Structure 1
């Protein structure tokens, strides 16, 4: 699939980034001739005060035909990450469900030049426990939605989702079915990417329209959950206290790449979203045609955070240099801030920042892959900065707690530049 701007990008763990660099040869066996044990990757520990629980929902929009596959209603899988009552009980939530993990491994091992079994993709655990009771709070917890990049699974936002949950938010991560390479549904059904071969700009319009409708449908289902209903298509048992934990009077959203575009466009048409974040996402369907999103021309009247990294079209990805972001900035009347990570790259804002660093430490990856994906920024330091700024943004605009971190640059976060008007 050809996309007109890299800020829409793309696939699984560096899946489509490696097309521009040569593949590495499969890593050699240990000197004994026996294969080394598979590498077990890990995600950064959340830093908030609360343990984290998780569950998933299978959502079916019976009134909307699927835009990509004829004869089917629109189906989604979403994960909910929440502050838990206890750190005990339940099983650790896996990063990827087993069948999706196998398909992901088959694609990714080949693209990274690894032999099958060198990385234990199916064994990656999150810092959340499945199905444990929700920590009660009078009035509920603020809710934040996450939309991933184009052709990227919801799993790749887990690091930031669990961080927000540990700080008292209910976070809902969404897979956009048939755009995502693989989505595993209950019963072992896996649906793969099924996008049509059509004009790229037309495809981008259809993708964004679908994503916005997906997001609004998820908001509808969350409202049913908050009223005491069970929106899961199979009516599977939900964690105790989940519906009561949702404060839908305070809802934010963040997204990476195409997910950032989704966030902004959804805010334009749905006032249930109170604040949003675009992490390095273009707001254009086609730069060459000057085809920008409606939100570029109309702006937003609610708080919005732009976060860019590295270079886009040969210039820093900020509102001072990118035409779409510049016009969006000029037309937006709400609170706004533009933060820039010069030494980062497009996937700095995803779990790739943590996972790819570990892979690079264990295997000889294709030349240029790491720098082209996550830049040269210090991994642990930027992960801490991303957590801090994202939490501060939602604390200020969903909880009404002023955050000095958002006022001026901080020496604790030297990789993050404030882009002034």
Structure 2
């Protein structure tokens, strides 16, 4: 386990690698760089009473080979967000490290068509979170939520929702899945995604099996983290988006340490017998704009869970794109059609509020925070 990895040799040659990647991926169709300089993007402030602390770790599973890069052992990067006792003198963390931001600028429109091309005028490295690095945690043992992101996304694109949960008294562990995630900076260099378009069945199986194993690794290592004294191992939940939602339900069904889970529009047809026999609390969200809604509904048939439909929304509304894409559209860097395809044409504040309060209320009932009132229903 390591804290805040130092720049690697791969970082030194980043410029040439990114140039080659841009040539390989071909010319883009994004807007030109804004005339008045890079577009400033902001994440919404959390709504809870507590400021948020942040610590980042890299976990190494020496007994497991990495499925995406033969010859190396599996490493998983996590960010732990928690209610802080004070944040005075502790800086806010960027959403992406400088190295990750440079890679994301190239990869973003390939992972999510419609996002601005590299050079279009977006400074991804300037987006700040509301997590204060190494701030001291608020005393007391608290419920822990694990988050696994959508396929091709990095953990930090689930920041806004996680910070909100942390500000209301929970500890949230954002989990990266290197090789699947768009980019992850590790001690040995920045790993980029192997995914190109929609995964075939074999690749999807590898993604989910790897993600579930990553979540189990995190659970195994929680007692050894410096923040373990403020974590309650008897109150653990999991939530995830898309492929992360699939992995979250599989982890919920197969690991007795996890008590409740939330699936944000993830398929459940990979192991139907496993999920059909689920006897733990499960909440599931979906949007009315998801192009694969028919497959989603078929895969959810018979699964014992409460369901919520978001209207005028689309698949990527569950992450930080809900906040970033409308800002990009306002700056002329994302078209109305691209916005609708990514997060929907409706008011993102309405959809994200339903997710935020709905998920919080669900975990308030199942994994309550001592001394806190339940979230609004």
Calculate the TM-score normalised by the size of structure 2.
Answer: 0.85
1:35-76 residue CA offsets vs partner (Å, 9 max, x unmatched) = 312111001110101000001011000111112222211101
Instruction: Tell me the number of residue pairs that the alignment of Structure 1 and Structure 2 aligns.
Output: 346
Give the C-alpha shift of residue 28 in structure 1: 6.5
TM-superposed deviation, 1:294: 3.9
**Residue number in structure 2 paired with 1:355:** 324
Q: Which moved more, 1:154-163 or 1:387-396?
A: 387-396
Q: Which range moves more in the overlay, 52-61 or 379-388?
A: 379-388
Give the secondary-structure state (helix, strand or coil) at the position aligned to 2:301: helix
Deviation per residue, 1:214-240 (Å, 9 max, x gap): 100100000233xxxxxxxxxxxx5xx
Three-state SS of the structure 2 residue aligned to 1:284 is coil
- Cα RMSD of the aligned pairs, angstroms, is 2.6
1:156 is aligned to: 157
The residue aligned with 1:398 is 367
Matches within 5 A, 1:133-212: 133-137=136-140, 140-186=141-187, 189-194=189-194, 200-212=200-212
1:337 to 306, 313, 324: 306
Q: Is the 8 A contact 1:51 1:85 kept in 2?
A: yes
Q: Closer, same or farther in 2 for the Cα pair 1:50/1:405, shift >3 Å? A: closer
Specify the structure having the higher radius of gyration (Cα): 1
Please give the alpha-carbon distance, in whole angstroms, between the structure 2 residues aligned to 1:105 and 1:149.
18
> Which residue does 1:122 correspond to in 2?
125
What CA distance in whole angstroms lies between the structure 1 residues aligned with 2:262 and 2:239? 4
Unaligned runs of 5+ in 1: 1-21, 30-34, 226-237, 286-291, 330-335, 407-421
Q: Structure 1's 402 and 308: CA in aligned 2 closer, same or farther, altered over 3 A?
A: farther
Q: Distance in 2 between matches of 1:294 and 1:51?
A: 42
Q: Which residue of 2 aligns with 1:232?
A: none
Structure 2: segments with no counterpart, 5+ residues: 1-26
- Alpha-carbon distance between aligned partners in 2 of 1:126 and 1:391, rounded to the nearest angstrom: 20
The CA deviation at 1:181 is 1.9
8 Å CA contact retained: 2:360, 2:375? no
1:386 matched residue in structure 2 = 355
| Partner residue in 2 for 1:55 | 55
Task: Please report how far the alpha carbon of residue 381 of structure 1 lies from its aligned counterpart in structure 2 after TM superposition.
Answer: 2.5
Does residue 309 (structure 1) correspond to residue 287 (structure 2)? The answer is: yes
For residue 197 of structure 1, report the CA deviation from its aligned partner.
11
Match of 1:323 among 291, 298, 301: 298
